[in-house]
């Protein structure tokens, strides 16, 4: 679906809690969905599936074929989902797998060239859980899963799955420690606190994990705190915003 965004579109999107930098027409696949509110200044490859959960902030970088949970914080320069080189081919050049990259075939008079259709471009999704922090310039290989609560250090090259609440750094990235002890991690994961809205919890409790968990567990138990339910926006919804700015 081609959506006719224009320079005024970011302002219209923001009225719905969608901080998205779409300011020109773009083609979207059906598997594109974002949950309000979000703030995303990254370049998104809208020709591939993409899903971003509420309360996530992304300061820059390039996103491709990725699913991102709620409450994630992603710095600028982060890259996800970009293809590996075809190591067993005669060449790694895109000319081997694209009919007319950059218009070069047309420029040099070579038209109608057939290319193989089995190159796995973007077929592996990168999955990022909830409450994940990713530092400046990190690179995530396609097909990996980053668990809930994980922290990825700046410039890390993540080539394998990251367990929940692990802290990883380096190239290739390795686990340097866990954020919490096993019992606390189990309690956090069982509660799945990202289902709720942090505005319902006193800010000072976020610094004291046991108190945070006690407060939220009690609030959920007595019905004082319920799941956060906003809404997901897919291509048809974005089309409505683009066509009927009202």
Q: Cα separations (Å) of 189 from 35, 194, 203, 217, 225?
A: 21, 10, 20, 12, 17
Contacts of 203 (CB under 8 A, 6+ apart): none
Predicted confidence at residue 46, as pLDDT, reads: 92
Predicted confidence at residue 1, as pLDDT, reads: 87
Residue 31 near residue 122 (C-beta atoms within 8 A): no
Closest CA to 75 of 62, 91, 90: 62
Q: What is the pLDDT of residues 29-52, one digit of tens each?
A: 889 999 999 999 999 999 889 999
Residue 67 near residue 125 (C-beta atoms within 8 A): yes
Q: What is the pLDDT of residues 195-207, one digit of tens each?
A: 999 999 999 999 9
Q: What does the alpha-carbon distance between residue 34 and residue 19 come to, in Å, rounded to a whole number? A: 10
Predicted confidence at residue 110, as pLDDT, reads: 78
Residue 27 near residue 10 (C-beta atoms within 8 A): no
Burial of 168 (0-12, 13-18, 19+ CB in 10 A): buried
Domain boundaries, the chain: 85-119
Q: What is the pLDDT of residues 102-114, one digit of tens each?
A: 888 888 887 666 6
Checking if the pLDDT of 53 tops 60, the result is: yes
Checking if the pLDDT of 64 tops 60, the result is: yes
Predicted confidence at residue 4, as pLDDT, reads: 94
Collapsed DSSP state (helix, strand, coil) of residue 235:
helix
Mean pLDDT of all residues in 211-217: 95
Checking if the pLDDT of 144 tops 70, the result is: yes
Quote the pTM value.
0.88
DSSP 26-48: EE--TTEEEESSEEE-SEE-TTS
Q: What does the alpha-carbon distance between residue 74 and residue 237 come to, in Å, rounded to a whole number? A: 25
Q: What is the pLDDT of residues 157-209, one digit of tens each?
A: 999 999 999 999 999 999 999 999 999 999 999 999 999 999 999 999 999 99
Checking if the pLDDT of 118 tops 70, the result is: no
Element (DSSP H or E) covering residue 58: strand 56-58
Residue 215 near residue 189 (C-beta atoms within 8 A): no
Predicted confidence at residue 121, as pLDDT, reads: 54
Q: How many residues does the chain have?
A: 246
Predicted confidence at residue 81, as pLDDT, reads: 75
Which tokens hold the place of 46? Answer: 């809208």
DSSP 217-231: HHHHHTTSS------
């Amino acid at each position: 679906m081609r959506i006719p965004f224009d320079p005024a579109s970011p302002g219209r999107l923001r009225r719905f809690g969608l901080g998205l930098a779409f300011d020109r027409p773009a083609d979207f696949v059906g598997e594109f969905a974002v949950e309000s509110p979000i703030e995303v200044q990254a370049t998104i490859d809208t020709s591939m599936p993409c899903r971003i959960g509420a309360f996530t902030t992304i300061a820059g970088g390039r996103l491709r074929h990725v699913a991102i949970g709620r409450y994630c914080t992603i710095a600028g320069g982060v890259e996800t989902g970009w293809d590996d080189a075809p190591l067993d081919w005669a060449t790694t050049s895109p000319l081997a797998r694209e009919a007319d990259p950059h218009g070069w075939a047309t420029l040099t008079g070579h038209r109608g060239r057939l290319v193989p259709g089995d190159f796995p471009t973007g077929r592996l999704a990168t999955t990022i859980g909830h409450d994940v922090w990713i530092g400046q310039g990190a690179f995530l290989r396609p097909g990996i899963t980053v668990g809930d609560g994980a922290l990825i250090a700046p410039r890390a090259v993540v080539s394998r799955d990251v367990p929940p609440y692990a802290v990883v750094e380096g190239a290739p990235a390795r686990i340097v420690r866990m954020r919490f002890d096993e019992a606390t991690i189990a309690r956090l994961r069982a509660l799945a606190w990202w289902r709720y809205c942090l505005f319902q919890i006193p800010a000072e409790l976020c610094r004291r994990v046991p108190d945070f968990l006690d407060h939220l567990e009690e609030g959920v138990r007595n019905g004082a705190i319920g799941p956060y339910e906003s809404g997901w926006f897919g291509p048809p919804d974005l089309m409505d915003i683009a066509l009927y700015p009202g």
